[in-house]
Structure 1
Amino acid sequence: MIIKILGSGCKKCVALGENAKAAAAAAGKEAEIVKVIDFAEIAAYGVMSTPGLVVDEKVVSTGKVLSAEEIGKLI
């Protein structure tokens, strides 16, 4: 599973990345967490407000920091 965090690397983006890592661990899934900071690549996903969360190339959240529990339901 590949989880991408879309954003500039701000506090919210870092928090979303940590929550995604925790959610994958809690679900017992092996996940690669990838940070995407290139705004052209972020825009290619159609994400206009960061942080964005992409799971296996599907955008599942934009503009907010999901909790580990919320991310767990999406993966």
Structure 2
Amino acid sequence: HSSNNCEHLFSQIILSQEKNIHKLNELVRDLRQQLSECKCNNETSTATANSLTEHVIELERQQFLED
């Protein structure tokens, strides 16, 4: 009788841990996706900033040549 209770308790604990593991795996997946999106956004921002810098340098060069 008590061995059955013990087995049932262990089963419940294992099921609970499996659910927690599943939730954690989902969170990890979501965080990886968010990180990937951040990296993508960061690369876009960097490219835009580099492009703007190139335009500013070109405008300054043209201004210098006109002087």
The reply to whether TM is greater than 0.5 is no
After TM superposition, the score normalised by the length of structure 1 is 0.26
Taking CA–CA contacts closer than 8 Å with sequence separation of 6 or more, which of the two structures ends up with the larger relative contact order? 1
Higher helix share: 2
Higher strand share: 1
Highest Rg: 1 or 2?
Answer: 2
